[in-house]
């Protein structure tokens, strides 16, 4: 018997024995939440990409996207020329018009660059950052972040099943919660270092200016970053710059 089916039977028996609880407890939602909790650890790549598509569509509606022909869109188009497919990932690029210094990539090939980041970086520095964000997808870091976010969503759904009004509101905004956790995911130091190394190889592959890899990280160190910055979750950029410089010398 599959776990979810067994769980449904067990909960049904429990609620039959405790009829007072059954009036306030949404069995269907509880089973669904438990299923999501199990599913979090077994998400397929296709399912991760599907969630990414939903999140990116939601974010594109929530943010102001630079229209085609605008200076930011034109510049990004030049920066990513030839990058429509990278390492087996079909990419789509847009600029969010916001002063936040940020960028992110998702498993469906979404790459979003914030105008605040473009204002501060050269073209090749932007390419390093884009390669770094693609690396988090290709190296499986984003999938792990989604699994964690999905499990948290399951917990919230379980709370909603209990009839708690505040929890119901949280559950209904699950998509926004997933977006927040994916876009501002906190990766480990080793994951960041691996993403940096991947991006250096990405730069080498496309014959970009390799010195921009270290200079982009040095800028991160100088700016520090804020609450809505990609750098707030990217630890010790100065140390990472030194590692990148060592990699380039090797």
Give the C-alpha separation, 79 to 31, whole Å: 47
- Contacting residues for 159 by C-beta, under 8 A, at least 6 apart: 167, 170, 171
Residues, the chain, total? 250
- Catalytic residue (one of 86, 125, 133, 192): 133
Q: Are strands 110-114 and 103-105 parallel, antiparallel or unpaired?
A: antiparallel
133 is catalytic: yes
Helical axes 27-39 vs 3-17, angle rounded to 10°: 150
Supply φ then ψ for residue 195, to 5 degrees: -65, -40
Task: Decide: 130 and 105 in contact? Cβ < 8 Å.
Answer: yes
List active site positions.
133
């Amino acid at each position: 018997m599959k776990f979810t089916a067994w769980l449904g039977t067990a909960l049904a028996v429990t609620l039959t024995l405790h009829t007072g609880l059954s009036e306030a407890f949404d069995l269907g939602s509880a089973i669904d939440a438990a299923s999501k909790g199990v599913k979090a650890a077994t998400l397929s790549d296709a399912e991760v990409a599907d969630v990414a598509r939903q999140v990116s569509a939601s974010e594109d509606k929530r943010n102001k996207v630079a229209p085609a022909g605008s200076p930011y869109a034109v510049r990004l188009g030049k920066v990513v020329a030839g990058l429509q497919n990278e390492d087996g990932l079909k990419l789509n690029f847009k600029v969010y018009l916001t002063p936040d210094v940020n960028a992110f990539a998702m498993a469906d090939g979404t790459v979003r660059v914030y105008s605040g980041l473009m204002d501060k970086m050269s073209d090749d520095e932007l390419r390093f950052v884009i390669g770094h964000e693609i690396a988090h997808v290709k190296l499986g870091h984003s999938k792990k972040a989604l699994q964690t976010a999905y499990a948290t969503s399951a917990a919230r759904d379980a709370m909603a099943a209990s009839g708690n009004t505040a929890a119901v509101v949280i559950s209904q905004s699950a998509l926004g919660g997933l977006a927040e956790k994916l876009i501002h995911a906190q990766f480990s130091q080793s994951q960041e270092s691996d993403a940096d190394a991947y991006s250096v190889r990405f730069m080498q592959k496309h014959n970009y200016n390799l010195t921009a890899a270290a200079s982009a990280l040095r800028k991160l160190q100088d700016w520090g970053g804020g609450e809505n910055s990609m750098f707030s979750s990217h630890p010790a950029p100065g140390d990472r710059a030194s590692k990148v410089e060592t990699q380039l010398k090797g």
